[in-house]
Every structure is written in structure tokens, then in C-alpha cells.
Chains A and B, each alone.
Chain A
Amino acid sequence: MNGMRIWFIEWIKKALLEVQEYVRMCVAAGAAMFSRPFYFRDVIEQIDVIGLGSLTVVLLTGFFTGAVLALQSGMTLDQFGARPFVGRLISASMIKELGPVLTALMLAGRVGSGIAAELGSMVVTEQISALRALGTDPIRKLVVPRVLAGFIMCPILTVVSDTVGMLGGWIVALTQLRVSSGVYWSAVVEGLFIQDVYMGIIKPFFLGIVIVTIGCHVGLRTSGGTQGVGRSTTNAVVAASVLVLIVDFFVTRLLISILF
């Protein structure tokens, strides 16, 4: 029993230390964004890596989510004779919730793991120490460009995902459910309020920051050689995915109270 208590206290200590270091890194990155030196070229490079590099996976995820949503909801709506309203359901679901969350989860898998693995490898091969020895602050050089790229690209990718999701739904509605294009797109527009659009665009800014900062934090805290890099990669994906869902809940709650 005593051993269990000691283990629990140690676990709490470690968790608090991680939170402390995470907050410290975020504060340092925030401060570094508004002072020199600023590595503009690295920001552009990361926008390319995080944004354009994730386009394929986001396109595929968005398209098939919209398509399967149309298929499933078409069957349910049929029971009430409401098949023409399928567009309304898809636009509301995709823009308010599925677009931001699924895009964020895809980015957590692709970008979060990539960042953790890259920075983790740099830590274990002493490249981070070499950077510091050469007079470069790793937070400015490595963390800030990634955070800015995540902050900028996550909302853009979400809009792309929403758009192709509705396109996927339209194709299914047209070919499988026999709903005409005019009816589908009218329902899509009718199903949306401007507040929904705001919510769908504001949430990804927060989710983008969460994914990238978790990847950077876990990567920079890597220890234990190549095995440690593998562990960090897994931890980054798990932590970022769970946090995406948690942050999504709280930001949604906050936005509902502000916007509606």
C-alpha cells in the first residue's frame, strides 16, 4: 500500500514537471515571436511541410467523411421522409465539428509525430546542443516556426476538409440517394448559421497550436537514444490526439457562450 502511495506521488510529480516544462516552452515561444532574431525562412519551410505536406491526407479524410456521412444519414433521414435535408446535416456536422476535429486528429498523427521524431532525433544526436553551442536558440529556430505554421495552416486545412467533405456528400447524395444538386446545395446553405462558420474557423487555431506545441515539447524532452525517439513519437500522437478532443470541448463550450 505504501509502495503504491510513493509510486502515485512520484507519478504526480513527474506529471506536474511535464506541465511546468510545457508551459515554460510555450511562454518562451510566445516571447520569441515578438523579438529578434526571427527565422522567417524556417516559417515558410514549415508552412510547406505542415500545410502542403498534409494536404493529401486531409483531402482524403474530408472527402470520405462527407461521403460516408451522407450514406449513413440518408438511411436515417429516409425513415422520416427527410432525405432532401441530407445537405443540411452534412454542412452542420462538417463545419462545426467533424472538419476541425478530424483535420486536427490527422495532423496530430502526421505532424505531431513528425515533429516529435525530428526534434527527438536532434536531441539524442546532440544536434540541439550543437545549435545552442553555435549561438542559436532552439526555441526560436525550431519551435516558433512550427507553432506559427501550425497556427496558420490548421484553419486553412480545415476549410479544405470542410469543402471536400461537402463535395463528397454531394456526390453520394446525387448518385446514391438521388437528391438533386439544387436541393442538396440549398440544404447545405440553409443548415448553416454564420456563428457555425465562425466556430468552425476559430477552433482550428487552438487545435493547431496544441498539436505543434505538444510535438515540440515531447520531442525536446526526448531521452534514451533511438528507443526514446520511438517512445516520444508515440507519446506525442497520443497526447496531442487526447488534447485535441479535450480542447475542442472547452473551446466549443466557450464559443457557444460567446457566439449564441
Chain B
Amino acid sequence: MRAKSLAEFGLPVELAEAHAPVVLFDRVNLSFDDKVILRDVTFSVRAGHTKIFLGASGAGKSTILKLMLGLLKPDSGTIWVLGHRVDLMDEAQLMRVRHHMGMVFQEGALFDSFTVGENVGYKLYEETILPLEEVRQRVDEVLGFVGLAAHVDKLPSALSGGQRRRVAIARAMAARPTLLLYDEATTGLDPMTALTVDAEIVKLRDVEQVTSVLVTHQLRDAFYVATHEARRNAAGQIEIFEASEQKIEEADFLMIREGQVAFEGHASDLRATKDPYLKEFLS
């Protein structure tokens, strides 16, 4: 696959522009010692869209999210996130970009000595000057959004795996991020619980207008997020529907194979692929 140059994405990024790219990787390379993790990776994520990274374990998917957050630095290439060159930023500068981002980690990565409420409100308590009452209101609001309002005073160890992931989503969305990154948010969960987590991702994207980047090797979850959309009904409740053609077009799949982009396209393109590796992966 040909790697697009930076100019083809039309940078500098104007965030005010509808569907402007909020993430842009341009020929990113990364190695740990002699092991190549990413090779010439190029892609963009547009505002309000969903990008779903597929690939086998160890393919380099989670590394891409860590590069977006600036937790890792690439060996070469450029990374733009929300209009900032994050690959050139120091930790203090990155903190300002991260204020507009949220991440759901593989195992939730909840602070185990904090209650659910403290976990969810952490960023608002510690990194903003919001009055305590407003923080509490927001915590109740997001916990209500993920259906865990009754668990606000519990410790994470008292929750099930699925509940912990939903708390992690609530924590990531509490500060109203522009961009949310999900690292294997449904791995290790049973199909029914995974579906509830998928529904939260869809709701957050469509109701709260959050650009979503998903890393997963669970095909069922990936296709569910790509082919469903959430809307409020007349009573103000959020319902999940089969997505419209336009909504499906807004979800891109990107297959990472041995650190390289092996496929990029929509759900229908992926299903129609003739590539033997992709066909085996999908089977």
C-alpha cells in the first residue's frame, strides 16, 4: 500500500473545519532494539469518525494509541493530534493536548485504592478548578450514562470485568474529551457484556460527538461499532439502531500486520476482501 504524504492530508489541521483530521500519522516508524514494531504507518482520523484498528496480538495496534497520547515517541515520521505535532512535544506540552483526549486501557487501569466515583472524577478533581459540587454532578451524570450510578462508592475490586471497563469509559469521558482511544476495551469479556461496552462506545460517539479510535481483535465488536448508531428517541432516551449508509461510511477499518498497514477501508470493503490473510483473519 502506498503511504500518503503529509501534504495530501491538507495540513495544517483546522479543527473548526467539519470532519477535519484530528489524528494524522505520516510514515511513522518505531523499533524496540532490533524488533520493528511499526513500519511506514500512515493514516488519518477525521472529526466525528471512527477508526478501528484490527490485527493479531503483537501486531503493534496498542502502540499506535500510545504514540497518539505521546506515551511513546516514534523513531521517525510525524504525528499530529488535535492540530499539534505530538512527536516533538515534551511531557509538559503533551499534558495540555491530553486534556482533550481520553483513553480506555486494556484492563481498565482503574486506580485500585480509589472508589468508582473518585476514579471517574479524578481528572476533574485533580486537574481542573471546577467546584466540587459540579464535579460530583458530572460524575453522577457519566456513571448514569454507562448505567453504573449505583456503584459510585464501591472499590474497583468489587466490580465485575464488564463493569470495570464501563467505569474506565466513564472516567475517560468525564472531562468531555474530543478524542477517545479504546485499547481492547472488550477483550476478555463474555459476548453479552462485550455488547454493553460496544453500546457505550456507540452512544458516546453519536450522542456526545466524540471521535473514536478503537483497537481490537474482536471482529464482532468491531463490526457492531461500525454498523450501529445511537439516537435519542422522542422521550429523550438513547436507543441503538442499525447505522445509516452515511454513518457506516464514517467508520474506517485499518488492518495492521507485522507493524505495517495491510488494509484500509470500510466494513463492506473488508468483508469483500480477496486478500488471503484478511480472509483467514475474518473467518
Contact = CB atoms under 8 A, between A and B. Distances in A.
Interface in A111-152: 125-127, 129-130, 132-137, 141
Given A134-B127, A135-B95, 11 more contacts: A37-B127, A125-B107, A126-B105, A127-B109, A129-B109, A132-B69, A133-B102, A133-B105, A135-B96, A135-B98, A136-B95
A127 B111 contact: yes
A137 B96 CA distance: 11
A141 to B, nearest CB: 8
B103 A130 contact: yes
Nearest to B181: A133
Nearest to B106: A126
Chain A facing B: main interface SS? loop
B127 A135 contact: yes
Interface in B126-140: 126-127
A126 B109 contact: yes
B123 A135 contact: yes
5 contacts: A130-B111, A132-B98, A133-B71, A135-B95, A137-B92
B280 interface: no
B112 interface: yes
A125 B66 CA distance: 15
Contacts of A137: 91-92, 95
A129 B94 CA distance: 13
B17 to A, nearest CB: 26
A125 B91 CA distance: 21
A27 to B, nearest CB: 13
Interface residues of A, number: 14
B109 to A, nearest CB: 4
A133 B95 contact: no
B53 interface: no
B62 to A, nearest CB: 10
B99 interface: yes
A96 B189 CA distance: 60
A136 B105 CA distance: 16
B37 to A, nearest CB: 16
5 A-B pairs with the lowest CB-CB distances in the bound complex, closest first: A130-B109, A126-B109, A133-B103, A135-B98, A134-B123
| Residue from A126, A133, A137 having most chain B Cβ neighbours under 10 A | A133
B112 to A, nearest CB: 7
B152 to A, nearest CB: 18
A35 to B, nearest CB: 9
A123 to B, nearest CB: 11
A130 B98 CA distance: 11
Interface residues of B, number: 24
A137 B127 CA distance: 10
A102 B91 CA distance: 39
A126 B95 contact: no
Contacts of B98: 132-135
A137 B91 CA distance: 8
B64 to A, nearest CB: 14
B101 interface: yes
B182 interface: no
Contact of A129 (B92, B105, B127): B105
Interface in B74-104: 91-92, 95-96, 98-99, 101-103
Interface in A30-46: 37, 39
Given A37-B127, A135-B123, A137-B91, A130 B105 contact: yes
Given A134-B98, A135-B98, A129 B71 contact: yes
A135 B105 CA distance: 15
B122 interface: yes
Contact of A135 (B71, B99, B112): B99
Nearest to B168: A130
Contacts of A135: 95-96, 98-99, 123, 127
A37 B95 CA distance: 12
A126 B107 CA distance: 8
Interface in B30-49: none
A232 B91 CA distance: 25
Contacts of A141: 126
A133 B71 CA distance: 8
A132 B98 CA distance: 8
B111 A133 contact: no
Contacts of A37: 126-127
Interface string B106-126: 110111100000000011001
Contact of A136 (B92, B110, B127): B127
B102 to A, nearest CB: 7
Contact of B101 (A39, A129, A133, A136): A133
Contacts of A127: 109-112
Interface string B155-179: 0000000000000000100000000
A126 B123 CA distance: 16
Contacts of A125: 107, 109, 112
A141 B66 CA distance: 21
Contacts of A132: 69, 71, 91, 98
